[in-house]
A and B are shown apart, each in its own frame.
Chain A
């Protein structure tokens, strides 16, 4: 091979390889086509339904009828004055934040525990997720079964031990809210463990060693190293879980259906009752819009907290 040929080859190779102009335009068009189905589906599956809810919230309409009458904000007024509304708002907040604080506390404790070295740690970590993975119906059925009057094992033990707890909490006026919060915590705390564990593993171990050398106690190490590094993620999952708890329909519906006497009727259940129990589409839609407003305001509060904390950590 001649030297000049080699030089020519090298020059050709060093020239930036790019696609022709035509191919680039064609390419962008392909990219555009690839994105279209998503755009169409989002419009059809979220934007349109949300628009529908807004529209429905201002109509008077039966569930199975096609007749609509525009009633303005009458549905909203109707909902706000409904005897169950204030109670449901209270129930929803009790359920969401009661579950959240238990899930957080237990999740954090278990994550700290599982972050230590001990035999069988990996399989235990894996099996810990089981309650999070099973369907809500399964969680509900096994807890109902364990508390049921004729067959329940927990029911039996509570009766036999004489503890001052209702043997079937889901039917008890005083204990039903505690019961649904407990099952929701059992079901969802592994999610917290998962997230906290991942975050704990990013903390530099040398920090602890340096602190130990300086004579910091275990609690001081936790307070000054572990907790600050967990705080941002705690706020993020805190927000997610608050919203998910707030939106949760399955736990309460399957365990108590909002009863007894509305003691556990949260907002999603009230919407369900308005629409599918009382066949009033307009009222249900109005309440859904209100719930949406509550969620947006809660997200904004969390967002402000998150920003503030980021500033302070900086």
Chain B
């Protein structure tokens, strides 16, 4: 490596940091702008030239959103749908990854990992038949049906993230438990699940965020106003009304972003805890 004097080194570091901060600014400014706008009274939203910070901070848009729109309901719907889709996807993929890594079935491996192929499919290609299927079953506008549809997203995702976690668990660990008299199921519950816990949490967070952010399926399958998801609610605000209240839209956007960032902050901490380290010795 080249050797720089301390002064030159410090200068170089300052330049690097400046560059990184510039990129960061481009990433964050639109979001920060949305955040501040959500606290501005309507008069300030239309003020020219626009001011960066609100001069008078107000919660009126949040109050309006909470009291006079259906948004609280949208949040509940989304939590419900995402929760069901993620937990179901997680349980099913946990079982399948376990089965595939512990037993030999002909074609099981290519099948399970061929599921990743779903990723390549255009969502609109699947949305179309799903519309027909749920229409034929009389399940359009049904949140459980939407949750089942979201399994097409959560399943491949969960399989993909969980696999390395399960594969890393030594077989000796559960075999020891089984020789000590555990049934396969008990060994699974007492050995595999705790060992894979960081992976399970990570999977849940990732799939939850993906479903939380999803728009197309709910756009196609849900038309009843009280059954909308958050994404669909915001999309309708943007698209259906030509003169929308920007304060309200921005407040909704901020609230839709908070759970996502919160969950990711949570998972970074969990990933650090290397739970399985040192469980098998010698």
CB <8 Å contact, B212 and A135: yes
Which residues of chain B have C-beta atoms less than 8 A from A288's C-beta?
122, 124-125, 128
Partner of A141, one of B121, B178, B234: B234
Partner of B231, one of A56, A119, A137, A291: A137
A-B contact count (CB 8 A): 240
B37 within 8 A of A: yes
Q: How far is the CB of A21 from chain B (nearest CB, A)?
A: 15
CB <8 Å contact, A126 and B268: yes
B280 within 8 A of A: no
B contact face: mostly helix, strand, loop, or mixed? helix
CB <8 Å contact, B253 and A142: yes
CB <8 Å contact, B37 and A247: no
User: Which residues of B2-28 are within 8 A (CB) of A?
Assistant: 2, 13, 16-17, 19-21, 23-24, 26-28
User: Which residues of A4-50 are within 8 A (CB) of B?
Assistant: 17, 19, 27-28, 30-32, 34-35, 37-39, 41-42, 45-46, 48-50
Which residues of chain B have C-beta atoms less than 8 A from A94's C-beta?
none
A117 within 8 A of B: yes
How many residues of chain B get a CB closer than 8 Å to chain A's CBs? Answer: 86
Interface hub of A118, A137, A141, A247 (most chain B Cβ within 10 A): A137
Interface string of B220-250 (1 = CB under 8 A from A): 1000000000110011001100000010011
How many residues of chain A get a CB closer than 8 Å to chain B's CBs? Answer: 88
A contact face: mostly helix, strand, loop, or mixed? helix
| Chain B, residue nearest A137 (CB) | B234
A130 to B246, alpha carbons, bound, how many Å?
22
Which residues of chain B have C-beta atoms less than 8 A from A45's C-beta?
148-149, 151-152, 155
CB <8 Å contact, B121 and A145: no
Interface string of B81-124 (1 = CB under 8 A from A): 00000000000110110111011010010011001001011111
Which residues of chain B have C-beta atoms less than 8 A from A247's C-beta?
121-124
CB <8 Å contact, B185 and A30: yes
Which residues of chain B have C-beta atoms less than 8 A from A110's C-beta?
20, 23
A275 to B132, alpha carbons, bound, how many Å?
11
Which residues of chain A have C-beta atoms less than 8 A from B1's C-beta?
208-209, 212
CB <8 Å contact, B123 and A49: no
CB <8 Å contact, A138 and B105: no
CB <8 Å contact, A35 and B31: no
B168 within 8 A of A: no
A261 to B104, alpha carbons, bound, how many Å?
56
A97 within 8 A of B: no
Which residues of chain B have C-beta atoms less than 8 A from A254's C-beta?
215, 235, 238-239
User: Which residues of B159-196 are within 8 A (CB) of A?
Assistant: 159, 175, 178-179, 184-185
Enumerate chain B interface residues (CB-CB to A < 8 A). 1-2, 13, 16-17, 19-21, 23-24, 26-28, 30-31, 33-34, 37, 45-46, 48-50, 92-93, 95-96, 98-100, 102-103, 105, 108, 111-112, 115, 118, 120-126, 128-133, 135-136, 148-149, 151-152, 155, 159, 175, 178-179, 184-185, 209, 212-213, 215-216, 220, 230-231, 234-235, 238-239, 246, 249-250, 253, 256-257, 260-261, 264, 268
Q: Could you list 20 A-B pairs, sorted by A, with CB under 8 Å?
A: A17-B175, A38-B95, A42-B111, A124-B20, A134-B260, A135-B231, A136-B231, A137-B230, A137-B234, A137-B253, A145-B249, A146-B33, A246-B122, A247-B123, A254-B215, A268-B123, A285-B129, A288-B128, A291-B122, A295-B122
The 5 A-B pairs of least Cβ separation, nearest first, read A31-B103, A52-B129, A49-B129, A135-B213, A34-B99
